[in-house]
């Protein structure tokens, strides 16, 4: 690794900010900190971070708003830090462009695992990639085919689009609304029933071809995420 990745930690509680700063520094990252939404945006503009760890509750604005503004000029992955009660806020921030979330209080191991996964993903340049490997099953995007070790996985066009959306997101949490809008269209953003049924079927078919059931992971109350085996 040439340069250590630069991580911006945004949290209004000073003790937490310091603890996160030291933890991430010890883990080998360069760390900037901010205590408010305004500071966060200023710092990100001055020193473009490779990743942002963002507390959902800030004194001068919510996480969703920071995500939205940040996304206008930065594609750095955003990891939300939230408490259990913030379900709706969390979904809004994810819809606004955050990549993943972690629930307070969390263990350091869990935090570092998420940070590593997000950084790895953002450095992996797959624009233009036409085949996505899920380990045992490959998705051929231009031909709209899914190939298992023992032959084609037969998917309906909708199921294929759903799998494709999850695969392209590459481990990011996609909220129900995002998936419905992408696969079915803007008019279907609230038809969660449709999404559940198709996800269940898609899982059955992938499982039949040897993929673990949590390849498509349920993020309860939020959405879905596609887990690729490490190293693929």
Partner 1 sequence: MSRQRIDPRVATGRILPSMSGRVPAAAACLVSVAACTAVVAAITPAVPGRATGVVYLIGVLVVSSLFGLYAGLATAALSVLMLNFLFIGPRYSVSVGRSGEWLSLAAFAAAAAIGSELAARARRQAGEAAQRAREAELGERLATLVAGGADLESALPAVARQAARALGASEGVIHLDSAAPATRAAQTLVLDVAGVRVGELRLIGCPPGALADPAAVRVGRVVGSLILLARERDRHVAERVDAEAVRRSNALKTVLLRAVSHDLRSPLMAIMTAAGALALEHPSGSDAELVQTVLNESERMDRLVGDLLDLSRMQSGVLSPNRDWCEPAEIVGAAVADRSGRPGRTRIALEVAPDVPLVRVDPAQLERVIANLVDNAVKFSPPGSAVEVSIGTVVGRVAVTVRDHGPGIPDDQAERVFEPFFRLDDPSRAPGSGLGLAIARGLAEANGCRLELTAAPGGGCAFSLLIPISQASLRSIS
Q: Give the Cα separation of 212 and 151 in Å (integer).
A: 17
29: DSSP letter: -
Candidate list 1, 2, 3, 15; residue touching partner 1; CB under 8 A: 15
CA atoms lying within 13 Å on the CB side of residue 227: 13
Helices and strands (H and E) in the chain: how many: 8, 14
The answer to whether 108 contacts partner 1 (rule: CB under 8 A) is yes
The answer to the question of residue 102 lying near partner 1 (CB under 8 A) is no
Q: How many CB atoms lie within 10 A of CB 127?
A: 4
Q: Would you call 11 helix, strand, or coil by DSSP?
A: coil
42: contact with partner 1 by CB under 8 A: no
Contacts of 20 (CB under 8 A, 6+ apart): 9, 11, 31, 33, 53, 111
Contacting residues for 106 by C-beta, under 8 A, at least 6 apart: 81
* Contact set for partner 1, span 136-165 (CB under 8 A): none
Side-chain-facing half-sphere of 3: CA atoms under 13 Å: 8
φ and ψ at residue 30, rounded to 5 degrees: -90, 135
Instruction: Rule CB under 8 A: say whether 16 interacts with partner 1.
Output: yes
Tokens encoding 226: 């596609």
Sketch the per residue contact string, 205 through 224, with partner 1: x for CB under 8 A, - otherwise.
Answer: --------xx---x-xx---
How many residues form the binding site for partner 1 (CB under 8 A)?
36
Q: CB nearer to partner 1: give 108 or 131.
A: 108
The least CB distance from residue 58 to partner 1, in Å, is 12
Min separation Cβ 62 and partner 1, Å: 13
User: Pick from 59, 72, 84, 231: which binds partner 1 (CB under 8 A)?
Assistant: 84
Closer residue to partner 1 (CB): 69 or 159: 159
Instruction: Work out how close the CB of 206 gets to partner 1 at its nearest, in angstroms, rounded to a whole number.
Output: 14
Looking only at the bridges linking them, the beta strands covering 100-103 and 57-58 are: unpaired
The pattern of x and - marking residues 53 through 82 that bind partner 1 according to CB under 8 A reads: ----x-------------------------
Positions touching partner 1 (CB under 8 A) are: 13, 15-16, 19-20, 22-23, 26-27, 57, 83-85, 87-88, 104-109, 111, 176, 192-194, 196-200, 213-214, 218, 220-221
């Amino acid at each position: 690794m040439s340069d250590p990745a630069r991580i911006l930690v945004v949290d209004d509680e000073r003790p937490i900010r310091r603890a996160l700063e030291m933890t991430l520094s010890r883990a080998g990252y360069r760390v900037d900190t901010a205590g408010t939404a305004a500071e966060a945006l200023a710092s990100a503009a001055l020193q473009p971070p490779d990743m942002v760890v963002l507390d959902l509750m800030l004194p001068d604005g919510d996480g969703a708003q920071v995500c939205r503004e940040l996304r206008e000029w930065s594609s750095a992955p955003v990891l939300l830090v939230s408490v259990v009660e913030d379900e709706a806020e969390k979904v809004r921030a994810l819809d606004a462009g955050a990549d993943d979330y972690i629930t307070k209080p969390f263990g350091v191991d869990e935090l570092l695992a998420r940070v590593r996964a997000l950084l790895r993903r953002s450095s992996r340049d797959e624009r233009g990639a036409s085949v996505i490997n899920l380990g045992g099953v490959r998705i051929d995007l231009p031909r709209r085919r899914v190939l298992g070790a023992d032959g084609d996985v037969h998917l309906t066009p909708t199921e294929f689009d759903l799998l494709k959306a999850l695969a392209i997101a590459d481990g990011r949490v996609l909220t129900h609304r995002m998936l419905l809008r992408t696969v079915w269209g803007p008019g279907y953003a609230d038809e969660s029933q449709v999404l559940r049924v198709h996800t269940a079927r898609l899982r059955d078919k992938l499982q039949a071809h040897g993929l673990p059931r949590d390849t498509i992971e349920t993020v309860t109350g939020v959405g879905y995420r596609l887990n690729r085996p490490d190293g693929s």
